[in-house]
Amino acid sequence: MELIPAIDIIEGRLVRLTKGDYATQKVYAEDPVEVAHEMESLGFKRLHVVDLDGARSKHVVNIDVLRRITQETRLVVDFGGGVKSEDDLRKVLDAGAQMVTLGSIAVTQRELVMQWLQEFGTEHLVLGADVRNGRISINGWKEESTQELLPFLDGYLRAGMRHVLCTEISKDGMLLGPATLLYRQVLEAYPNCRLIASGGVSCIEDIRQLNKAGVPAVVFGKAIYEGRIDLKELIEEFPQNL
């Protein structure tokens, strides 16, 4: 299982939210790039970066932070938040992100995302599936769509999409454990999906349980910044999964 630390950004600072509620934001670092350096020095190879300003404003905002991370580290960065046009997508790739997570736009402009899948390739795109009450939420998790999770995934996976970042919103930032049952259901339906679990990871035991469930990758952030996970201990246990 691939281990992917997360950096969420508001106004250029590293923050975390609870259940996607912007009113709950807590600042953990003034400079996310310094944290990215730290993750790289510990041995991590990949970083998940979320532009929360972008998700809320419906266009990419914190592009300068992304560019600094990709220029100053060798981390493989996947970036999400606010990618609502081809201009946004190209801007993010030009800034050095190797992968781009497409969330709301994959719901609202399916045909356009299908075109991007053909043009940019499956290895550069990640399907973002943010779930609340069994349905996909969009626009910074402020709106609930009519799309149910498995039918939503089905169309894209059949078209060649491989990477799926699935967040159970009710778990996000709660430090109460991930939605392992949900991830099992996804993998049972689509065993070849490169599923990335997100939300709720509170300790190393949660990561062990996800690994046992066969989840290919996990994103976690708040547990790091709240001191719930000892990263050196984690790396010693999962050295091959960085």
Q: What angle do CA 212, 216, 218 make, to 5 degrees?
A: 90
What range does the domain containing 48 cover?
2-241
Q: Is the pLDDT of residue 242 over 80?
A: no
- Has 53 been annotated as catalytic? no
pTM, 2 dp? 0.93
Q: Is the pLDDT of residue 20 over 90?
A: no
Q: What is the rounded average pLDDT for all residues in the chain?
A: 94
Task: Exactly one of 8, 51, 88, 172 is catalytic; name it.
Answer: 8
How many domains, the chain? 1
Task: Exactly one of 51, 53, 78, 130 is catalytic; name it.
Answer: 130
Rg (CA), the chain: 16
DSSP run (H or E) holding 132: strand 125-132
> Which of the 8 DSSP states describes residue 124?
G
Cα 35 off chain centre by:
17
- Has 206 been annotated as catalytic? no
pLDDT in tens, 169-179: 888 777 889 99
Contact status, residue 175 vs residue 222, Cβ threshold 8 Å: yes
d(CA 203, CA 199) in angstroms, rounded, equals 12
| Tokens of residue 165, six digits | 């970042």
| Tokens of residue 146, six digits | 């009519």
| Tokens of residue 151, six digits | 């039918």
CATH number reported for the structural domain that contains residue 27 in this entry: 3.20.20.70
- Split at pLDDT 50, 70, 90, the class of 138 is confident
pLDDT in tens, 97-135: 999 999 989 999 999 999 999 999 999 999 999 998 889
pLDDT of residue 139: 75
